[in-house]
Amino acid sequence: MKSLAIITKKHQPDAWQAGQALESWSREQGLKAVLLVNEPDIQMMPLPPEVEVIVVMGGDGTLLSVARRYGQKCLPILGVNVGGLGFLTEVSLEELFPAMEQILAGKYEVEERMMLFATIFRDGQAFWGKTVLNDAVINKGALARIIELTTWIDGEYLTTYRADGLIIATPTGSTAYTLSAGGPIVYPTLRHVLLLPICPHTLSMRPIILPETVTLEVTLDPKAEDVYLTVDGQVGQELLPGDRVEVKCAAHHLKLIRSPRRSHFEILRAKLGWGEVRAPNYQV
């Protein structure tokens, strides 16, 4: 590796200082390093073409925005959590430089996470589209009213959900909004699409796990008002009656560098409080 990009938040002192420290360390190692700021009100600079690895300082939210912006470049991304342990930002600040030494030596593993692409069609034309790492959510705005969402899978009618909304998620997103809405936890490297109604009017409407090859289409009740499509809980667009939302697997996968010190199951135990019960003193 000869070049890397460090993406951090300037208003978060710990993240900014860690980014500057990593920039200095990288140059001491003979690497070319560029420090980029990730803030909602700042236009992020394009990545230099020679960048080989991206290091993200912050939390899972920061990594989600970086994934949407740069995921299509298929560069390995290391998520460094500034604060508590994250599902996506697995490496702590204390582990940063040992992890970077492993990366510099080429001793690291990469996980490929599937992404989705959500498109809004209006009057038959593609109107708005975004890449999704966690989930695409259709729901109401301020008023908590049931909406009707007619859903097709690969052109075949599935059902019309009467619910507070609908979540279309990746396995990576199964530990985000989907989890709080009662969905299953799916191993993050699997290739599936999760379809989950939010508080459905009919209890028989259950979550569905679909293959990555499907194309999902959702249309609104013509009387629907104040309905939005939100991706990764960060970017949204208002939907109008007659709009059609299409969600399918993105053309690229996100490459995440795995933590050298903890497994996915260890992260689950830590984040979800499963560590209250001690593991037995034997192995299966």
Per-residue pLDDT band for 85 (boundaries 50, 70, 90) equals low
Q: What integer pLDDT is reported at residue 282 of this predicted model?
A: 60
Q: What integer pLDDT is reported at residue 145 of this predicted model?
A: 76
pLDDT of 284 over the 60 cut = no
Q: What integer pLDDT is reported at residue 279 of this predicted model?
A: 59
Prediction pTM value: 0.90
* Residue 37 phi, psi dihedral angles, 5° rounding: -100, 130
Q: What integer pLDDT is reported at residue 158 of this predicted model?
A: 97
Average pLDDT rounded to a whole number, residues 235-247: 94
What structural domains and CATH numbers belong to the chain? 3-109+258-276 (3.40.50.10330), 115-251 (2.60.200.30)
C-alpha span between 122 and 270 (Å, rounded): 43
Q: What integer pLDDT is reported at residue 129 of this predicted model?
A: 96
C-alpha span between 211 and 196 (Å, rounded): 14
Per-residue pLDDT band for 41 (boundaries 50, 70, 90) equals low
C-alpha span between 173 and 194 (Å, rounded): 9
Supply the Cα-derived Rg of the chain in whole angstroms. 20
pLDDT of 56 over the 60 cut = yes
* Residue 16 token pair: 């900014």
Average pLDDT rounded to a whole number, residues 259-276: 81
DSSP-derived secondary structure for the chain: --EEEEEE-SSSHHHHHHHHHHHHHHHHTT-EEEEEE--TTS-PPPPPTT--EEEEEE-HHHHHHHHHHHGGG---EEEEESSS--SS--EEGGGHHHHHHHHHTT---EEEEEEEEEEEEETTEEEEEEEESSEEEEEESSS---EEEEEEETTEEEEEEEESEEEEE-SGGGGTHHHHTTPPP--TTS-EEEEEEES-SSTT---EEEETT-EEEEEE-TT--SEEEEETTTEEEEE-TT-EEEEEEEEEEEEEEPPSS--HHHHHHHHHTGGGSPPPSS--
Asked if 226 is an active-site residue, the reply is: no
Q: What integer pLDDT is reported at residue 276 of this predicted model?
A: 60
Cβ neighbours of 164 (radius 10 Å): 18
Average pLDDT rounded to a whole number, residues 169-190: 94
C-alpha span between 53 and 51 (Å, rounded): 6
Alpha-carbon separation of residue 92 from 36, 107, 168 (angstroms)? 20, 18, 30
Average pLDDT rounded to a whole number, residues 225-249: 94
Least reliable range by pLDDT among 57-71, 76-90, 232-246: 76-90
* Residue 177 token pair: 């909004």
Per-residue pLDDT band for 273 (boundaries 50, 70, 90) equals confident
Q: What integer pLDDT is reported at residue 5 of this predicted model?
A: 95
Per-residue pLDDT band for 162 (boundaries 50, 70, 90) equals very high
Burial class of residue 82 in the structure, from the number of CB atoms within 10 Å of its CB (0-12 exposed, 13-18 middle, 19+ buried)? buried
The more confidently predicted of residues 1 and 197 is: 197
pLDDT tens-digit readout, 111-148 = 999 999 999 999 999 999 999 999 999 998 766 678 99
Catalytic residue among 60, 164, 232, 243: 60
pLDDT tens-digit readout, 89-116 = 888 888 999 999 999 988 899 999 999 9
pLDDT of 215 over the 60 cut = yes
